A and B are shown apart, each in its own frame.
Chain A
Amino acid sequence: MYRFSKFRAWVGGALGIFLPLLNSTSLSAAEPAGDDGQWTMATKDYGNVRFSGLDQINTQNAKSLKLSWTFSTGVFRGQEAAPLVVGNTMYVVTPFPNYLYALDLNKPGTVKWKYDPKAEAAAKGEACCDWVNRGAAYAEGRIFYNTLDANTVAVDAASGKEIWKTKIGDINKGETITMAPMTVKGKVYVGISGGEFGVRGRLTCVSAADGKILWRAYSCGPDKDCLIGPRFHPFYDSDKGTDLGVKTWPPGHWKIGGGTIWGFLSYDPETNLLFYGMGNPGSWNPDLRPGDNKWSCGCFARDADTGEAVWYYQWSPHDEFDHDGINECMLLELKVDGPDKPARKVLVHPGRTGYMYVLDRATGQVLSADPFTRITASKGVDLKSGRSITNEEKRPRIGKVIRDVQPASPGAKDWQPSAYSPRTGLLYVPHQNLTCDYEAVEANYIAGTPYLGVNERMYAGPGGYRGKFMAWDPVARKEVWGIKENFPVWSGTVVTAGDVAFYGTMDRHFKCVNAKTGEVLWDFETDSGIIGQPVTFKGPDGKQYVAVLAGVGGWAGAIVAGQLDPRDPSAALGFVNAVKDLPDHTKPGDKLYVFALP
């Protein structure tokens, strides 16, 4: 959702051509006042657009950006969080042990307070992909965030005192939390991680006032557990019927059926709907779970008050390659029906499967699904049935090694969030170019241990580059420009009204690029590789700042954060083989960097 009424007329009209003339003064008039000075949730806005109306830093002066201040968190693991800015305070969540720092922006770099949730150390062994945390959410004087040991906490934003702490999951079953919660109208929405442990995914709604659990909506199992009732009207026939969350599994398998929720949530205030994606089904090995495995690897639209499901679409029925469907659902209004027709309210999802999905936000109908990378894992998306078309040649079978499956398990794009600029009409998509060899093997479910059944080794796709920062035109449905990077681009991005976009690389570069042309305007070398989410805000002095955490890790950087051994190509679920040389380029890091114009 992005309510720029003045843009609607032209946002979709770009049709892949750069917009040569833009009246930027009319844009700032349309800006919701005050919002852009702050950054109050990881996604910046409910629609996951990550566009900032701040325009002090622009294509002309970006080259003069200077380091303003830094802050060291003392936690040297993958830094995937977005710092929050509320008033004159910045809030930073670290990877496990999940400290929360409040930093005074009036005296940059000074700590107002530090909160320690005392998370259980054993959680570190239950987290699939480093001990990351993707950030917090602010509402009504409270900071909400999740800890690796599967608790949600509410902390007083002024004092740093814990207000409540609610246990969401059980680490003995491999349940952890890495995602940033979303808070809407007195409710906090929290997912669960553990798709590699046979965790039964669910969205938990917690009362912001006292931490009580209001409802849970499961991703597999009987309809009543999944809050599927009379309001549920999926667009495609394959999603219609009762208890599909049971019937599309071998008997009882839904109890360890995955469909975890660890990406970002979106919210549309006009329809009061939440949108989010589900992760892979339980056991990576698809042979162990014949069927569509609903409701894994799809997207739910749910009523934000009651949790009732409204529609569902499955990106990849019977997921074969760990192509979690958790990537962000960006709520946009685009002229996808033609330049003369009114803009349509759509949901854009740059999928792990390698397709750029554009869905009708009201119905869940797929309007388009175009490849934004090389794809061998599937043969396209049938728009009539909505189904992904299986490539039989690449179908995993027990005991058989399938070669050159692209996208590899992290997908064409993983969790790293994209941004959209209504000024350029372009999406900015950090992603990777990885292919893999994939062997399905037997798997046993033992609670609290990985439930995988796959041997994998990844490597760079054709071209040899492993990552890319791309601008994509969602109306013309094509790439406009792309910057190839040596390593996967595992950082998020932000685009601004100054027509610049920021992203970081795993080999320690923080870059500012021209949002229209992709020209690199500024490049800063950090201590450690960047996998965090850059944010921009207005400081107490009225200046525009850009902040990012640098500290390599996550799945892609596990070789450095976890000191893994590159002699085993299957280390870190096969990712190590693709990034064997990363330790030559970066060490672990813990630092927040804040930049501004002199």
Chain B
Amino acid sequence: MTLPAALSCKREERSFRVAPPFVEMPEAIPYNNRVRPGPFATTTPSTSQPVSVERLSHEPFGRQYLINAQALSDGQTLYGAFNCSGCHANGGGGMGPPLLDNKWFYGAEPEQVYVSILEGRPNGMPSYRGRIPDYQMWELVGYVLSLSGQASPNAAAGRSEHMTTALPPNSTPREKPEVVPQPTTGPATGKTATQPTTTSQPRQNGQ
């Protein structure tokens, strides 16, 4: 009888709200390209130092939204309310690229996704600057990343609010994000560039 009580003491620590950010832009946005021109980079002022992705993965701010159930749930509602679903569907994409898979044109770090929403991107992503309160933009970041399994399964939504479409975020296989070039006018690369086959096997995502 004491066992459950003892175990419950070892529960993980959770915050129910993420403190709203007090600056609009995060301090350090990961670069989409790791290659930096040298040697002057070492002498640039510390505020504009390139920050490696590794270091940012220890940055707590953006990641807080990936482990907070309330933020992820709000993000899901906002994803519909701000018409993200119109272009990206429930993660499978349409007018915009899919969000379920491991392919990211502009980076999958929370700060990079934040910048995509804030500033827009040149091939059609509109800028939401001034249209969405900042904390809600971060909640959207969390939900968008949960679509490819980047959020904690304990915190991610277990069901859709609507007609069943893609798997709920807490059951989506965790993808390993990679930055890929955006196909523009040349032959598309990746999944669909393979030779046509006659099998009807389901495609392996990310191949």
Contacts and interface: CB of A to CB of B under 8 A. Distances in A.
Contacts of B187: 76, 587-588, 590
Contact of A450 (B92, B93, B95, B97): B95
Contacts of A562: 93-94, 97
Interface in A172-196: 196
Interface stretch (A48-56, A119-127, A230-238, A291-299): A119-127
B185 A125 contact: no
A449 B126 contact: yes
A449 B202 contact: no
Contacts of A571: 89-94, 98
A150 to B, nearest CB: 14
Interface string A214-248: 00000000000000000000000000000000000
B95 A565 contact: no
Nearest to B80: A441
Chain A interface size band reads 35 or more
A564 interface: yes
Interface in A45-82: 74-77
A38 B188 CA distance: 34
A448 B166 CA distance: 25
B91 A565 contact: yes
Contacts of A590: 187
Interface string B145-163: 0000000000000000011
Given A76-B188, A125-B123, A570-B166, A564 B82 contact: no
A573 B89 contact: yes
A76 B94 contact: no
Given A437-B163, A444-B83, A587-B193, A125 B89 contact: no
Interface stretch (A321-329, A349-357, A460-468, A578-586): A578-586
A480 B197 CA distance: 34
A122 B192 contact: no
B35 interface: no
A457 interface: yes
Contacts of A585: 196, 198
A568 B89 contact: yes
A584 B201 contact: yes
Interface string A126-162: 1111000000000000000000000000000000000
Given A442-B80, A450-B87, A584-B201, A564 B92 contact: yes
B125 to A, nearest CB: 6
Given A451-B86, A455-B163, A584 B124 contact: no
B69 interface: no
Contacts of A126: 95, 124
Contacts of B123: 121-122, 124-125
B92 A566 contact: yes
Given A75-B185, A76-B185, A569-B166, A564 B93 contact: yes
B111 interface: no
B95 to A, nearest CB: 6
A391 interface: no
A74 B124 contact: no
Interface string B165-207: 1110000000000000001111110111111111111110100
A584 B198 contact: yes
B200 A449 contact: no
Nearest to B124: A125
Interface residues of B, number: 52
B50 interface: no
Interface in B46-89: 80-83, 85-87, 89
B40 to A, nearest CB: 31
Given A401-B163, A457-B163, A570-B166, A561 B86 contact: no
B115 interface: no
Nearest to A171: B124
A97 interface: yes
A510 to B, nearest CB: 15
A360 interface: no
Contacts of B196: 508, 584-587
B142 to A, nearest CB: 19
Given A451-B86, A583-B192, A457 B165 contact: yes
A565 B100 contact: yes
Contacts of B203: 566, 583-584
B131 interface: yes
Contacts of A377: none
Q: Which 10 A-B pairs have the closest CB atoms?
A: A125-B124, A450-B86, A568-B92, A571-B92, A565-B98, A568-B166, A449-B83, A570-B165, A439-B163, A572-B94
14 contacts: A126-B124, A128-B95, A449-B83, A449-B87, A450-B95, A455-B90, A563-B103, A564-B93, A568-B100, A570-B90, A570-B163, A580-B202, A583-B191, A590-B187
Given A568-B165, A588-B193, 10 more contacts: A121-B123, A446-B131, A450-B95, A455-B90, A455-B165, A560-B192, A567-B100, A571-B89, A584-B200, A587-B187
